[in-house]
Structure 1
Amino acid sequence: MKEYRQGVSLAYPIDHRLIRQFLAAVEHGNITAASNALHISQPALTKNIRKLEEFLGVRLLERHSRGVVATSYGQVLARRGKLVELEFEYAMAEIEAMKGGNKGTIRIGTSPVFATLYMPKVAISLVEQSPGLKIELENGVLDTLVPGLLQGDLDIVCSALDFPDHPELVKDHLIDFEHAVFARTEHPLADRDVIDPKEMMEYSWVMLAKDYVAVSRLGSYFSANGLGPPHIAVETNSFETAFASVREADFLTSSTLSLQPHAENMGLVPLPIQGTLWHFPAGATYRRSTTTPSSVNAVVACLKDIVKTTENI
């Protein structure tokens, strides 16, 4: 490889196709697979990536026998380049909307409570406003949704806001939630007036998979009472499955009190524990931009109206 330059002059713009080709190589992890997906020859793709590396003055890909992997420089370009691609998609969607087409896709990440209580109505409202808009809903937890937003896989996240502030993200606080402990109505602890934390240590828990924030908060509750972390026996990606598992045995689970009606429909009740697990703010999070995409603004506006209406019922 040629010797890299020490500086880069931004007076000469990078061909957008080079960025797209580099992103394909990173996503596929293989030059041959990327060239096939792009419908160009492998030598042409290799040449263009080297051209991009020489322009920036850094090595973007490490090549090995099984394919390629982004260097630390390449990871930065991949993350930023993907956001550039997204901005282009937003621009196209807004132009279509101005022309009357209202096309495009909005990818919404949502926590279980938002997915259950608010997102069906939000989706209906968005479809009515923009008939050509495609809505993709992805259920998850903070530890999966926020990284997806930062990486450009999601356009907006509707969930808890109790995670560290990030310079690239905007948080819009809409509501406050309280977590509670749920058990089936036949559970030995269900008829107690107040439950000591020690008593709950005798039972196993069902929790959402990868919800490290909730597990940490749960551990903090027991730690504050001089106890170790509870035993988590089952992890699932679905709160319905979590509730169904608790209904079938003397498990315990943690969820927001806002889901109490759904829990009661499945034969569960909130337990009168000593103290509270935790309160937390919730709302919408999206990437900071000089101009927020109209589709993201539409989601926030719909969500605000529906949350306000629901809370006033």
Structure 2
Amino acid sequence: MKTPKLLDGRLKLRHLVLLDALLRQGTVVGAAAALHVTQPVVTRGLHELEEILGVTLFDRGPRGITPTVYGAAFGEHARAVLAQLNEAGRHLVELAQAERGTVVVGTHLAGTNVLLPRAITAMKRRRPNLTVIVREAAPEPLLVELAAGRVDMIVGRLTAPSDERLERRKLYDEAVHLVVRATHPLAGREVEPAELGEYPWIMPGAETALRRELEQFFARHEIALPVNRVETTSFLIVRELLLENDFIAALPSLITVDDTRLARLPIKLDQVGHSVGLTLPSRTLSPSAEAFIDCLTEIASEMDSRN
């Protein structure tokens, strides 16, 4: 195929926005709702983009649309362009307003309870007019948001090395412990692994690395995956469930270190532990984001000795 001419005036920014919406929503109906336009507008825009590129971007099916290899590949470039434009607009505002700006931080369970609140506190003392937006989600959706420029950085567990698209910067290592409420029947005594299967569990989502490690832990000790379980990565929900019930949960050590209402079970989670750090995009970050990274780094250094 010939190299498509993308700078001849036919390709518009609306085409890139449309492609991003289709990739995120997975249906024409969903993309139309997200963009507040009609379905024919979305369909026409997709046909225009496919004609400009000379390839089919999506396979149509009864349950929605699936990106082809061309749609997935061009979608990465489209999101990179949109991310750079979003960053350019925010950068201009920060330059014009000096101490004002916004940093958007994505996070999952590791880092949410101690590191982020303390870093935000430190940032607000230094730059009170800077807005910090925290978005909590599972790792994979956050990576999509990071690639699209809707999130500046991700704070949480590091599960892969840096590559050409993402920089992963370790802040500290953290152990994981089995945790129950202080009045739990297993608290304050020796516990055999087989006893763990007799109680309900709070499990991280199936898409997380910690979930896979727990499943391996169960397998090594010949414990069936708990049928009576709740799956969530929200610490607020985990804590309340632990305090009110006989649940067991696997939590990062810093989350429970100062909470006397919770108790750690004396069972070693061999091969379960992680590094907490930053996942950063390859694009240039705003001054606000860089300032927040400095706060995270300082707070993490203070916390590391307590872990």
User: If the length of structure 2 is used for normalisation, what is the TM-score?
Assistant: 0.80
Residue in structure 2 matched with residue 90 of structure 1 by the alignment: 87
Task: Select the structure with the greater relative contact order (CA < 8 A; seq sep ≥ 6).
Answer: 2
State which of 95, 118, 122 in structure 2 corresponds to 1:121. 118
Q: How does 1:21-170 map to 2 (within 5 A)?
A: 21-23=18-20, 29-30=27-28, 34=32, 37=35, 49-61=46-58, 70-130=67-127, 132-163=129-160, 166-170=163-167
Relative to structure 1, is the Cα distance of residues 201 and 163 closer, same or farther in structure 2, using a 3 angstrom cutoff? farther
Amino acid in structure 1 at the alignment position of 2:289: V
Amino acid in structure 1 at the alignment position of 2:225: P
Residue in structure 2 matched with residue 191 of structure 1 by the alignment: 188
Q: Offset of 1:182 from its aligned partner? A: 1.1
Q: Quick one: distance in 1 between partners of 2:186 and 2:179?
A: 10
State which of 257, 261, 278 in structure 1 corresponds to 2:253. 257
Matched, 1:288 2:285: no
Q: Offset of 1:224 from its aligned partner? A: 2.7
Unaligned runs of 5+ in 1: none
Relative to structure 1, is the Cα distance of residues 86 and 128 closer, same or farther in structure 2, using a 3 angstrom cutoff? farther
Assess if the C-alpha contact under 8 Å between 1:207 and 1:253 holds in 2.
yes
Residue in structure 1 matched with residue 176 of structure 2 by the alignment: 179
Q: Quick one: distance in 1 between partners of 2:197 and 2:60?
A: 51
Q: Deviations over 1:78-100 (max 9, x none)?
A: 34312311211111222222223
User: If the length of structure 1 is used for normalisation, what is the TM-score?
Assistant: 0.79
Matched, 1:309 2:302: yes
Q: Quick one: distance in 2 between partners of 1:86 and 1:107?
A: 13
Q: How does 1:180-219 map to 2 (within 5 A)?
A: 180-193=177-190, 195-210=191-206, 212-219=208-215
Please give the secondary structure, in 1, of the residue aligned with 2:3: coil
Relative to structure 1, is the Cα distance of residues 248 and 180 closer, same or farther in structure 2, using a 3 angstrom cutoff? same
Relative to structure 1, is the Cα distance of residues 124 and 257 closer, same or farther in structure 2, using a 3 angstrom cutoff? closer
Q: Quick one: distance in 2 between partners of 1:259 and 1:141?
A: 18
State which of 232, 236, 251 in structure 2 corresponds to 1:236. 232
Residue in structure 1 matched with residue 13 of structure 2 by the alignment: 16
Moved over 6 A (4+): 38-41, 63-69
Assess if the C-alpha contact under 8 Å between 1:219 and 1:230 holds in 2.
no
Q: Quick one: distance in 1 between partners of 2:188 and 2:43?
A: 69
Which moves more between the two structures, 70-79 or 175-184? 70-79
Amino acid in structure 1 at the alignment position of 2:200: S
Q: Quick one: distance in 1 between partners of 2:108 and 2:263?
A: 21
Relative to structure 1, is the Cα distance of residues 66 and 262 closer, same or farther in structure 2, using a 3 angstrom cutoff? same
Q: Quick one: distance in 2 between partners of 1:262 and 1:222?
A: 28
The alignment's C-alpha RMSD in Å is 3.6
Amino acid in structure 2 at the alignment position of 1:146: L
Aligned residue pairs total 304
Matched, 1:273 2:270: no
Larger radius of gyration: 1
Q: Deviations over 1:12-62 (max 9, x none)?
A: 47443442354456667448974995789967x766544432331112355
Q: Quick one: distance in 2 between partners of 1:191 and 1:288?
A: 48
Q: Percent identity between the aligned chains?
A: 24
Matched, 1:299 2:292: yes
Q: Offset of 1:239 from its aligned partner? A: 2.1
Q: Quick one: distance in 2 between partners of 1:213 and 1:228?
A: 19
